[in-house]
Amino acid sequence: MFSLDLKNALASTDELPCSDDTPVDNEDQNFLPNVLLFLLNLIWANRMDWFFGVDMAIYHTTGVNPRVPVVPDAFLSVGVERKKGGKSRNSYAVWEENEVVPILTLELVSHVPGGEYDDKMAIYRQLGVLYYVIYNPEFWRRDQHQPFELYKLIDGNYQLQIGEPYWMPEVGLGIARYQATIGGIQQEALSWYDEHGDRYFTAEERAEQENIRAEQLADYLRSLGIDPDNLPSESID
């Protein structure tokens, strides 16, 4: 915890860059975190105490300079305003969020290694991020790691956890890979899971399930000799 004088001297997020201006080198670095964000908007639609940032700067006081951010591909904070002061955030400064550190960070490894297994891991450890996920579907052999790794901060150090989906009780969600069809394109993606290990469906999948149920009901009515397209309407007295 830093002093009140230091806190008052820290810059506002209105003054700080929203990112580090480092371009992503593949589309999945933006696409896959946004899939998680859109899904979380469905799962926690009625909750206003969380924020999920994608390619957004996190400013903190545990590094060499509070003006130098760390920029994960995605992060989740719980216990903060969904919209800070009713407005969208430009960046995330821990000192403006009642000292709430992200509970989870996500890094997607790309063509050029970005220190995901060393430098960034050290930053997140020092910051106190409880869960750190590294997703590396293409270059895991090059990096001598697994395609999906989840680390938990235990006694001040990250320990690799086993199991997929992995349930995170402090978050109230599980996370894992799955074979997805998103926008008509099949690919591996990440998803949230419930405590029973069941995957949460996307909006697209929910609509498809509704269509299937509607068609099953229509088939059942036809089996009874009822035309589902010409159902009698109730008269209103």
**Whole-angstrom distance, CA of residue 176 vs CA of residue 178:** 7
Q: Whole-angstrom Cα distance, residue 186 to residue 207?
A: 18
Give, in words, the CATH class of 4-199.
Answer: alpha beta
Q: Distance (Å, rounded) from C-alpha 170 to C-alpha 196?
A: 15
Reported as a single tens digit per residue, the pLDDT across 49-64 is 999 999 999 999 998 8
Give residues with Cβ within 8 angstroms of 171, minimum separation 6: 76, 78, 103, 104, 131
Q: Are strands 148-154 and 131-135 parallel, antiparallel or unpaired?
A: antiparallel
| pLDDT per residue of the chain (237 residues) written in tens, 0 to 9 | 455 455 556 767 666 666 555 655 667 888 999 999 999 999 999 999 999 999 999 999 998 899 999 999 999 999 999 999 899 999 999 999 999 999 999 999 988 888 999 999 999 999 999 999 999 999 999 999 999 999 999 999 999 999 999 999 999 999 999 998 877 889 999 999 999 999 999 888 888 878 888 888 888 878 888 888 887 766 455
Which pTM was predicted? 0.84
Q: Report the alpha-carbon distance of residue 197 to residue 203 in Å, rounded.
A: 19
> What is d(CA 57, CA 75) in angstroms, rounded to the nearest whole number?
10
* β-sheet bridge partners, residue 59: 93
Which amino acid is residue 234, in one-letter code? E
- CB-based burial of residue 5 (10 Å sphere; 0-12 exposed, 13-18 middle, 19+ buried)? exposed
Distance CA 198, CA 26 (A): 29
